[in-house]
Structure 1
Amino acid sequence: MTAAAVGPRTRAFSQVDVFTDEPFLGNPVAVVLDGDGITDRDMARLANWTNLSETTFVVPPSSAEADYGLRIFTPGGEIPFAGHPTLGSAHAWLEAGGVPRSPGRLVQECPLGLIDVRRSGNGLIFRAPDLKRDGPLDSTHLDRIARGLGIGRERIVAHQWVDNGPGWAAVQLATAEEVLALDPDDRHMGDLMLGVVGAHPEDSPVAFEVRAFAMPAGVREDPVTGSLHAGIAQWLIRSGVAPRCYRAGQGSRLRRQGVVTIEAHDTEVWVGGRSSTCVRGTVDV
């Protein structure tokens, strides 16, 4: 006698737009607010179906310090950490009535570890996790990046590993205008998880422009990318290129208007932005 098949369950669901003051101009994340009991296969299937850069599942935490656990999936599979899903999921959890164990401090548990989230004047803000890999890129990797971006290697003015889980490498171009003009060649982007940053003129509303290319995750170009900004901020602040507090833009080439706020306090870098819920309902998983 075989066990009866277990059918889908109706679960609370939100779609949250992150890193924007105006809804529909940031980066959306799909949030399943009750992910307990969903199989890995069904999580991956739903993430592939939503076709967003990330879909998250709120689950019970294993750590007594955490308020909730979070699993994060791209269309290509699960990743250990990501920034805009962290902020969007925290926003949805709080909006659904979640109460942090410690007032003013929310703790998310994900495969990378415990991530602190708190409120700020610009919405929610998370503490950038320590880099798993840093230091300059090697010559072979730089050659691949230049080919993928369709530029001469001499136009890369600085470079660094800024990997806090997803595998990010980053290169700096001379100006934001150069960053926005890039038209990468998919044939050469291959397995690159790549961020590109360039400075805006001093009188601009944002200090830097960032673009993120994540072909291994199934995302040709991500609209706004919190994990990448976290790594880039740690790099640029440490090297003296960026001030300890600044704002960066992302998404213009995708007709978005993402704005990411960076704040450095002592040795910690915090990454934040505004979020708004655009879809509320249920999903059967």
Structure 2
Amino acid sequence: MTRDYAIYDVFTATPLEGNPLAVVFDADGLDDGQMAAIAGEFNLSETIFLTSPENEAHSRGARIFTPKAELPFAGHPTVGAAIAIVERRGGLAGDGRIVTLEEGIGLVRCVVKDDGGTHFAEFDLPKLPVAAELNLKKDEIADALGLAPAEIGFENHVPTLHSAGVPFLCVPVDGLEAIGRASTNNDTWPAFSKRTGFGEVYLYTRDTVRHDAAFHSRLFAPGFGIAEDPATGAAAAAFAGVVMQFDTPHDGPHVVLIEQGVEMGRPSALRLEMDIENRKLTKARLGGHAVRIAEGQLLL
């Protein structure tokens, strides 16, 4: 049989920027091994497989694979798949369309809108971020990233561990020059990763390239077969916890634009919206654009 697929660039409105995603439609009948092998064949940071939903009131079931592992939740596959589903159904009519995806983390609700000729999708975070204890010294983190200890941290920001479904070691770096030099492609990261169990690390700094961005970020995930990721929605979701912990925003709605992928030549823009009441995060949404750049069929 044949199965349709499409390639989308996500968290961008410009083709060949953002984070590439493979969307496999009609994935019913594929087993775990086949999905993992197909994801390895595409060799993109993530591939999402759309299946018939368990509840017919929902849009699709969804399983997300990196080249080496399955994830319960990820942001750029969620945004890309929601837009792909709407476009496959003939596009938008009216103000927008709701897409509900049954992911490993649970039900994820997305709203897809037309934004001046390109599609924008935003989803409610299925889980709000929580912090976990982190017992790592600044100098060992710096050594693992090829940086000096003085380059780890800025203002009141220090390394933390946050999760909104997927845990991330979140490391503040002092400035664009330092974050541009950071790398896990060195002699120290493998030992650090083996000892700590961290297969990925999310770096961020307050300095930005875009004038409208609040933070600049990079994501290295060699443990998942991803040397560097151009845009990481699950990390941006977890990062809402970092903003709450260190920036303590006042009550009301807040929009935080995060740029990523600049060093890779694939600039991305992730829009994080946060609702705060009584100094607590009550709701959060993550959104971005996506553009289809290729389509075809799997002969499987």
Settle same-fold status: TM greater than 0.5. Answer: yes
User: Which of these residues, 102, 107, 111, is aligned with residue 114 of structure 1?
Assistant: 107
User: Which of these residues, 235, 250, 272, is aligned with residue 262 of structure 1?
Assistant: 272
Change (3 A) 1:241 1:278: farther
User: Which of these residues, 98, 120, 123, is aligned with residue 120 of structure 2?
Assistant: 123
8 Å Cα contact 2:147-2:178 kept in structure 1: no
The answer for unaligned runs of 5 or more in structure 2 is: 277-281
8 Å Cα contact 1:144-1:189 kept in structure 2: no
Q: Please give the per-residue CA displacement for 1:54-88, whole angstroms capped at 9, x wherever unaligned.
A: 11100122245532110001000211111101111
Q: Please give the per-residue CA displacement for 1:138-186, whole angstroms capped at 9, x wherever unaligned.
A: 126x554322211233432212212233331111122233222323344
8 Å Cα contact 1:177-1:200 kept in structure 2: no
Give the C-alpha shift of residue 208 in structure 1.
1.0
**Residue 272 (1) aligns with residue 265 (2):** no
User: Which of these residues, 229, 253, 260, is aligned with residue 222 of structure 1?
Assistant: 229
State the distance in 2 between where 1:202 and 1:223 align: 15
State the distance in 1 between where 2:172 and 2:126 align: 21
State the distance in 2 between where 1:202 and 1:72 align: 30
SS at match of 2:101: strand
State the distance in 2 between where 1:282 and 1:71 align: 18
Equivalence map 1:129-168=2 (5 Å)? 129-131=126-128, 133-139=130-136, 142-157=138-153, 158-168=158-168
Q: Which residue in the other structure is 1:209 paired with?
A: 216
Change (3 A) 1:98 1:186: farther
Equivalence map 1:10-25=2 (5 Å)? 10-25=2-17
Q: Which residue in the other structure is 1:183 paired with?
A: 183
Change (3 A) 1:153 1:218: same
User: What amino acid maps onto 2:173 in structure 1?
Assistant: L
Identity %: 30
SS at match of 1:66: coil
Number of corresponding residues: 274
The answer for unaligned runs of 5 or more in structure 1 is: 1-8
Deviates more, 1:71-80 or 1:128-137: 128-137
Deviates more, 1:128-137 or 1:223-232: 128-137
Q: Which residue in the other structure is 1:6 paired with?
A: none
State the distance in 2 between where 1:242 and 1:25 align: 31
Change (3 A) 1:204 1:186: same
Deviates more, 1:121-130 or 1:271-280: 121-130
Q: What is the RMSD computed on CA atoms of the aligned residues?
A: 2.5
Change (3 A) 1:51 1:272: same
Q: Please give the per-residue CA displacement for 1:93-131, whole angstroms capped at 9, x wherever unaligned.
A: 11111899xx74321111111112113557111222325
User: How does the TM-score come out when normalised to structure 2?
Assistant: 0.83
SS at match of 2:167: coil
Change (3 A) 1:203 1:72: closer
SS at match of 2:159: strand
State the distance in 2 between where 1:173 and 1:65 align: 45
Q: Which residue in the other structure is 1:231 paired with?
A: 238
User: How does the TM-score come out when normalised to structure 1?
Assistant: 0.87
State the distance in 2 between where 1:63 and 1:155 align: 49
Change (3 A) 1:133 1:206: closer
SS at match of 1:165: coil
State the distance in 2 between where 1:255 and 1:194 align: 20
